[in-house]
Structure 1
């Protein structure tokens, strides 16, 4: 069975797929005229301007849910595994896929807003919705929804809970089965409240923990400030096979950098699009830009912070090939691939502190990621069950996800990551095809947003004016402020 899973993963993450993801990001960057650079001010201003409503959450809450899904194990254990398999050069390719992927995130999140629905009093949207409405192919939307359900409720939660359990065990000697039970208990209490509880919890936990983590990284980077140029040079030279030690890992650097970059920031996977659709905004492009910012926050800030802490302190190992091949660097003897690299890095500066700090950071990061996974699974259940009672399927998906969370906490890290990578690959394959076909409406939205901004207006979306069909929610849209005054 394990050999079969490895074969599937090998196909999903073969070299053509890795280079295709880079190519798609570059294509969208060109088509949007690098909106992730031109509109960087709007990206961060807009996240604080939207207001929540009875049906939707605020832009900041939607951003927090998206960041909850993005900021997780990938930012700590994922960075470590990228460095282990691809060397320091993998960090460069994580940066590359984040920069280019910000444009992919804009496209998918804007499409999610364009084609969202109002279902049982809540906004719902995501790839399944825009595939059906934009492409007119319901069967393809159903395929994505099923793939997302499998990935979000079965394959991917275990990566998060496994990392939490490993870090907590290493820091506090708490058995993984105990950690698993505690996770299931608290997770169950939160997901019972639906998107409003999830959004509220995420908007509190994610900024708090991200700021605390960045402050810790900032202190360590400040203490090693003179090593910054040397570390950047190592990353860049290794990324292109020019370093004497890591020169033979060029292919691995690209592959693992892109794969772990996408695992972390989820650009092109379609997960962030689900949260984007829940936002109450007056124009789809607004939330598209906000979600682009979330990719930057995830990878260019938090992942980079982890990478610099690890590389500054030399607390990492890098293999010459696979798990059992000789090491080309052994900075932390006997350490397994995962949070131990980051724990060792902080411990080397603040003895006996890093192990517990990283365990707590992972607990919050990964816990909120599983919360976001549930919301995405719930949204795809809502898509599949439209017009029918969904209470039983919604209950069952909670049980399945909680079971996968517990099972992940007690399984080996290698198997957890294998299943997680398969889940990621399934969604990426389907969603990338969809957004390539559906890019035109998102690009029209961007142009319309820019034209209204030039006129000094607060952009409001009118799909009929742009000739965009099946944007049924927007065809009868009334601004929330006008609803209040009427």
Structure 2
């Protein structure tokens, strides 16, 4: 079984690493660096109010997407990247995030353009823009089916597995007990619907991210003398000029890209699902918001984790048998333990790093589980037309079941299944948004033309030369 999963993982991810870098570069050039040029617009759109009572606000959609992006990948995933790819992996995580923010912009813009209204909520994402934008109904159905499989069975286990493992390490709570608690709490949230998820994410996600980054700043401040060496080590390792890590440059690129994509999921399609839920006057507004969420996820949270680990020396390089970089920490394994050790050693006198990281992981991972439920149901809505159908209820139960199973299976299996799930969805989405790039560019030009005139951009698909946007065509958008 392990051999089959390993082969499938390699088939999916080996070419996906290069595809991520290539498409991110192409989109950055094609949009003239939209993820950099429109930073001001990102902040303005982020604080905008909902355009109607049906959808969520831009900030709620941002928080919901960020809840899916910020998860165990920001703690355990960063540690794994450094363990297998060396310090240079952190550089490639950051570089990938900057490039992939353009992918997040495109997928969220497309999600808005082709969204629909169902059961009093806005829905959109991969299957909708495959059908409406590309005219490929069968492919859209297949993509929706794969997404349901991945978000209900393959991916949730990573988050729940890491929660119970960190709680067990920090507080000695049996995994079966903490697993039941997580599932019970998740059930209370997911049966409340999209708006309850968005409301909770709006309150929890910004707070937990701010606290975690603040903790990293404290660790860095107490170890500020090591910061120049950390920067030198990361950059030199990334390009193979470091004496120790020169031979790991290929692994640094590979693991940096993989864990960046797993962490911020820019290009996987989640931004399209979450972004479509927002009520905005122009699709590009939500595209900018989702691009900004990539920065929060990777440039802030992931970088915070990496700097803590590297500035305190709380890491080893794997696989086992290769000499550990930190001789006095031979038992540290790649995962949350790296970060726990970094906090304990980075703040003199502190011996409760495990507890702090366990709490952070709980909130990070729990909001990710909420988002997975929403994405699974969204794809069921595409397949059945309703979030109140029997299949939608089945998805609710399966998300809870797979979340619990993740607490009893091995962490290695949970991560492997999660990686395969994300990889499968990413292939469908990356191909689709590459083919629909001209549509996103037309929407961007329409937005910029109105903004240059000092107007609050309002989307009219006919004026923008975009077909298939039935939701927007039914609205009385003023011609400008």
**Which bin holds the TM-score, normalised by the shorter protein?**
over 0.9
Question: Once the 2 structures are TM-superposed, how far is the Cα of residue 168 of structure 1 from its aligned partner?
Answer: 0.5
Change (3 A) 1:234 1:128: same
Could you tell me which runs of 5 or more consecutive residues in structure 1 were left unpaired when the two chains were aligned.
481-486
Aligned to 1:277: 276
Aligned to 2:193: 194
- SS of residue matched to 2:259: helix
Distance 1:71 1:465 in 2: 37
Question: Shift of the alpha carbon at 1:327?
Answer: 3.6
What is the alpha-carbon distance in structure 2 between the residues aligned to residue 328 and residue 19 of structure 1?
29
Whether the 8 Å contact between 2:51 and 2:281 is mirrored in structure 1 is: no
1 CA distance for matches of 2:97 and 2:378?
Answer: 25
SS of alignment partner, residue 123 of structure 1: strand
Counterpart for residue 151 of structure 1: 150
Say yes or no: does 1:128 pair with 2:110: no
Distance in 1 separating the partners of 2:216 and 2:50:
32
Number of the residue aligned with 1:65: 64
The residue aligned with 2:362 is 363
Aligned pairs (5 A) from 1:326-337: 326-330=322-326, 332-337=329-334
Q: Identify the match of residue 433 of structure 1 among 431, 438, 443.
A: 431
Greater displacement, 296-305 / 330-339: 330-339
Q: Following the alignment from structure 2 to structure 1, what is the Cα–Cα distance between the partners of residues 243 and 161?
A: 35
416, 436, 445: which is aligned to 1:447? 445
1:109 match: 108
My pick for the range that moved more, 416-425 or 330-339, is 330-339
2:335 aligns with 338
Moved beyond 6 Å, runs of 4+ = none
3-state SS, counterpart of residue 92 of structure 2: helix
> 1:172 matched to which residue of 2?
171
Alignment of 1:293-442 (within 5 A): 293-319=292-318, 322=319, 324-330=320-326, 332-350=329-347, 351-386=350-385, 390-442=388-440
The answer to whether the Cα contact below 8 Å between 1:69 and 1:272 also exists between their aligned partners in 2 is: no
Q: TM-score, normalised by structure 2?
A: 0.97
Query: Using the alignment, how far apart are the partners of 2:78 and 2:476 within structure 1?
Result: 44
CA distance in 1, matches of 2:476, 2:303: 41
Query: By how many angstroms is 1:232 displaced?
Result: 1.1
State the shift of 1:354 in Å: 1.2
1:118 aligned counterpart, secondary structure: strand
Contact 1:54 1:121 in 2 (8 A): no
Question: 2:61·2:277 contact (CA, 8 Å) conserved in 1?
Answer: yes
Name the residue aligned to 2:455: 457
Aligned to 2:31: 32
- Note the alpha carbon deviations across 1:166-195, whole angstroms, 9 max, x for none: 111110011111111000000001000111
1:396 to 1:35, Cα distance in 2 relative to 1, 3 A: same
Q: How many residues align?
A: 475
Equivalent-residue separation in structure 2 for 1:21 and 1:357 (angstroms): 33
Report if aligned partners of 1:449, 1:459 keep a CA contact under 8 Å in 2: yes
Partner of 1:484: none
For 2:387 and 2:39, the matched residues in 1 are separated by 42
1:359-381 Cα distance to aligned partner (Å, 9 max, x none): 00000000000000000000000
| Partners of 2:117 and 2:196 in 1: CA distance | 18
TM-fit CA distance, 1:476 = 1.8
Structure 1 residues 479 and 196: alpha-carbon distance in aligned structure 2, compared to 1, 3 A threshold: farther
Tell me the distance in 2 between the aligned counterparts of 1:232 and 1:477: 51
CA shift for structure 1 position 235: 0.5
Deviations 1:115-161 (A, max 9, x none): 00011111000011111000000111112111111111111101001
1:313, 1:246 → 2: CA distance? 18
User: C-alpha distance in 2, partners of 1:307/1:205?
Assistant: 23
Alpha-carbon contact 2:282-2:447 (below 8 Å) kept:
yes
Residue 317 of structure 2 aligns to a residue whose secondary structure is: strand
Aligned-residue offset at 1:52? 6.2
Map Cα deviations across residues 219-267 of structure 1 (whole Å, 9 max, x no partner).
1112222322221111011111111111111111111100000000000
Q: Quote the Cα distance in structure 2 between the aligned partners of 1:260 and 1:432.
A: 17
Instruction: Specify the SS of the correspondent of 2:75.
Output: helix
Q: Distance in 1 between matches of 2:46 and 2:232?
A: 34
Aligned residue for 1:104, secondary structure, equals helix
> For the residues of structure 2 that align with 1:255 and 1:460, how far apart are their CA atoms?
41
Which residues in structure 2 correspond to 1:216-231 (within 5 Å)? 216-231=215-230
Render the CA deviation track for 1:416-453: whole Å, top value 9, x for unaligned: 11001000100111110000000111111111111101
Tell me if the contact between 1:245 and 1:328 (Cα under 8 Å) persists in the aligned partners.
Answer: no
